[in-house]
């Protein structure tokens, strides 16, 4: 399969679904990571033009860790809008991948860039398959299935499906660690360790999923987008239940 994750900022994908993407790649699927904005407003002590170059380089390094192909859209940070021109750019970007499955932000995430990315993806996906609507790339060859990835901190998000990322949690952390400029500013301004956020959220969703670490998703149920089979990857790891049974049962 061809898997496309679309985030608003550099590091959004790594925070929310990189474990699942690494698992897809490990299982032989083609993985693509697209970022809408250039992250140039993220650090108060680095000029925006300089920071955009830093954030792009960090993003590409993170993609290399996952084994994903990077797509850098380059919109200004904090200024993304749901315009027709931007929608058509998203249509063409999606067509360039021709994915089986897309992951992006949900509609109630905390940041406007996240919510506008959500809306642009939602509006672009049906158009990506309309052959009479011309862009630089041909229409998608299938109706694309859409999943929403977790909100930051899991706030206001109720997963309908989980992926056991126990075997790829280290890859997820390694990819996020490439975003050194973002990790630094979160520690400096908010006393937040983003690597600890990944660890904590992974365990939290893992408790819900019955595994050591997990990521949560909501599959979009909309006309002509449903499937009777699961597209999220199954892990070869040991579940909490199996782990206990191997040792003679829970005490």
DSSP string, the chain: -EEEEEESSTTHHHHHHHHHHHHHHHTT-EEEEEEEE--TTS-TTS-HHHHHHHHHHHHHHHHHHHTPEEEEEEEPTT-----HHHHHHHHHHHHHH--SEEEE--TT-SSHHHHHHHHHHHHHHHHHT-TTS--SSPPPSSPPEEEEEPPGGGTT---SEEEE-TTTHHHHHHHHHT-HHHHHHHHHHH---HHHHHHHHHHHHHHHHTSSSEEEEEE---TTT--SS--SPPP-S--HHHHHHHTTS--
Out of 33-47, 99-113, 220-234, pick the least confident. Answer: 220-234
- Say whether pLDDT at 203 is over 90: yes
Predicted confidence (pLDDT) per residue in 48-71, tens digit:
999 999 999 999 999 999 999 999
Domain assignment of residue 203, yes or no: yes
CATH code of 158's domain: 3.40.50.10320
- Rounded Cα distance, 197 and 61, in Å: 20
pLDDT at 189: 87
- Say whether pLDDT at 244 is over 60: no
Domain assignment of residue 94, yes or no: yes
- Say whether pLDDT at 75 is over 60: yes
Segments forming the whole domain that contains residue 157: 2-246
Domain assignment of residue 154, yes or no: yes
pLDDT at 247: 45
Q: How many domains does the chain have?
A: 1
pLDDT at 44: 86
pLDDT at 235: 78
Residue 226 pLDDT grade (very low, low, confident, very high; cuts 50, 70, 90): low
Domain assignment of residue 41, yes or no: yes
- Say whether pLDDT at 43 is over 90: no
pLDDT at 177: 97
Predicted confidence (pLDDT) per residue in 123-182, tens digit:
999 999 999 999 999 999 988 999 999 999 999 999 999 999 999 999 999 999 999 999
Domain assignment of residue 204, yes or no: yes
Domain assignment of residue 251, yes or no: no
Domain assignment of residue 20, yes or no: yes
């Amino acid at each position: 399969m061809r898997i496309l994750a679309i985030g608003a900022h550099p590091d959004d994908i790594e925070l929310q679904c990189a474990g699942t993407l690494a698992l897809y790649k490990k299982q032989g699927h083609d993985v693509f990571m697209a970022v809408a904005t250039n992250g140039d407003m993220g650090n108060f002590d680095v000029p925006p033009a300089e920071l955009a170059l830093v954030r792009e380089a960090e993003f590409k390094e993170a993609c290399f860790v996952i084994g994903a192909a990077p797509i850098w859209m380059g919109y200004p940070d904090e200024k993304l809008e749901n315009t027709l021109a931007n929608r058509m750019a998203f249509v063409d970007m999606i067509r360039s991948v021709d994915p089986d499955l897309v992951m992006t932000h949900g509609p109630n995430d905390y940041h406007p860039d996240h919510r506008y990315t959500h809306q642009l993806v939602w509006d672009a996906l049906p158009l990506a398959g309309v052959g009479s609507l011309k862009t630089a790339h041909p229409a998608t060859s299938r109706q694309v299935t859409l999943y929403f990835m977790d909100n930051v901190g899991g706030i206001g998000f109720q997963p309908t499906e989980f992926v056991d990322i126990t075997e790829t949690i280290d890859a997820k952390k390694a990819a996020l660690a490439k975003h050194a400029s973002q990790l630094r500013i979160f520690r400096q301004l908010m006393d937040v360790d983003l690597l600890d956020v990944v660890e904590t959220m992974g365990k939290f969703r893992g408790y819900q999923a019955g595994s050591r670490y997990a990521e949560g998703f909501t599959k979009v149920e909309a006309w002509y987008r449903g499937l009777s089979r699961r597209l999220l990857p199954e892990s070869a790891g040991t579940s909490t239940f199996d782990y206990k049974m191997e040792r003679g049962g829970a005490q």
